[in-house]
Chain A
Amino acid sequence: MNDSALRELADDQSSRKRFFKMLGGAGAVGAASVLIAACGDDDKTGGGAAAGGAAAKTTGDNTSDLEIVNYALTLEFLEATFYQEVLDSGVVKDPKVGDLAKTLQEQEQEHVDALTATAKSLGGTPATKPKTKFQDVIAKGPKAILETAATVENLGAAAYLGQAGNIKSKDILAAALSIHSVEARHAAALNELVGRGFGGGGGLEGSLPDGAFAKPMDMAAVLKAVKPFLAS
């Protein structure tokens, strides 16, 4: 059997470079100009739409790409911060779990960096890192940590899916999709690791919580779900 072509397809060494290529080749300027041409409502929605601002709009269609990017950025901040605090806490002793947490932290941080750059490229102000409260979860130990991670990653995947149809710029969409499937990978592995099995009945538990066809979540539902982790 010769699957070398397949393997070549599946392997890629420069994902960050590719991400920015999606955003318009020479840099994010291309994406920005495409977006400005495509949707004139960006000026009105303003540059500083952080999660709070995005939360006010729950119907997708008139949500600007910048709002969506900042919404995603807020979720990525949440995930990156969680993994970072878990690593810093030293609570996780199992090296296999520790390695995974480190990998996930790095990837979420890359998402943070990329989305921050994307928000800027759209002429906006990137959402700022939200104040989080993961201390209670972390204090409960590795099992609670992994379960929370599994739930949050399922949430992240559902959140991206919920916005896919709302993104106006094809470049931003391509970029979002490249993150969406990574969140899904994280989610499946973590849910399996915590022993939740495939699931399939909906909700945020299980490696395949919606069965063969994943379901989206809108901003309001996602923000409600992450609220326990946000310090007011």
Chain B
Amino acid sequence: MAQSRPVAPELATIEVHGITREAFLLRATLAAGAAYGAMSATPYISRALAQDGNGDVDVLNYALTLEHLEADFYTMAVKQVRGLGGEEKKLAQKLRDDENAHVDALTATIKDLGGKPAAKPTFDFGGAFADRATFLKTANTLEDTGVSAYNGAAPQISSVEVLAAAGGIVQVEARHAGLIRLVRNRPPAPLAFDKASEMKAVLEAVKPFIKA
């Protein structure tokens, strides 16, 4: 079955595979696992696999990598960024915890599928933690990008259960974006209609953060 496909350890591998409908579908199964608990994700995943018979555990790993990126970003930020106010630090910690919850659920879902969760890459966020303003700006960009990534992928999903679950994740990403924007005195939504980005564009965009 699908799980026998090799797990892509790095984003580059995913890019070679490109964007497929099945890829999106499985990307969303991670969300199902997250939303319903990994143990109960199996029926959704089974259905998803039954529909296209082409498991893309590597795409789940692509998603895991992105979630790792966000989780790592906030983990480092909490430790390194100077000059955050009390509420701002609390927010950074909350965002870190949410992203970690996504990572955990995703990891469990990949295992549930019989796949091997990708190792956490080494990230390099450059000067993003140099000061409060740079951190918040980068966080803003990352969260907005996360929203656009999910919005771009979701319509490709064919299982309604999986789709609903993926929606539960993107809503949280959007809420994160709104909160960070508020701290930055920006309108919570820059546009009346959020953008949808293709996976390839997202991967290109986050590439500079991935060291190894």
Contact = CB atoms under 8 A, between A and B. Distances in A.
A12 B197 CA distance: 11
B174 to A, nearest CB: 4
Nearest to B87: A192
Contact of B145 (A2, A6, A100, A192): A6
A7 B187 CA distance: 16
A161 B193 CA distance: 15
Nearest to A209: B175
Contacts of B188: 100, 185-186, 188-190
A48 B28 CA distance: 34
Interface in A5-27: 5-12, 15-16, 18-19, 22
B26 interface: no
B83 interface: no
B179 A192 contact: yes
Interface string B5-46: 000000000000000000000000000001100000000000
A180 B128 contact: no
> Which of B163, B164, B181, B192 has the most chain A CB within a 10 Å cutoff?
B192
A96 B151 CA distance: 30
A211 B98 contact: yes
Nearest to B163: A165
A53 B147 CA distance: 32
Nearest to B129: A1
Nearest to A111: B192
Contacts of A177: 151, 154-155, 167, 170, 194, 196
Contacts of B147: 181
A2 B128 CA distance: 10
Contacts of A215: 168
A100 B195 contact: no
A38 B142 CA distance: 36
A7 B197 CA distance: 12
B141 interface: yes
Q: Give the contact-size bracket for chain A.
A: 35 or more
A72 interface: no
Contact of A207 (B175, B193, B204): B175
B205 interface: yes
A9 B205 contact: yes
B160 A166 contact: yes
A15 B94 CA distance: 30
**A-B pairs, 6 with minimum CB distance:** A1-B126, A185-B178, A189-B188, A165-B160, A15-B191, A188-B178
Given A10-B140, A16-B193, A185-B194, 20 more contacts: A10-B148, A10-B195, A12-B190, A100-B187, A157-B171, A173-B154, A177-B170, A178-B194, A178-B195, A182-B193, A184-B175, A185-B177, A185-B189, A187-B178, A188-B176, A192-B182, A207-B178, A208-B175, A211-B101, A213-B169
20 contacts: A1-B208, A3-B141, A5-B207, A6-B145, A6-B206, A8-B205, A15-B191, A18-B196, A103-B187, A164-B167, A165-B167, A173-B154, A174-B196, A177-B151, A177-B154, A177-B194, A181-B177, A181-B194, A184-B170, A198-B94
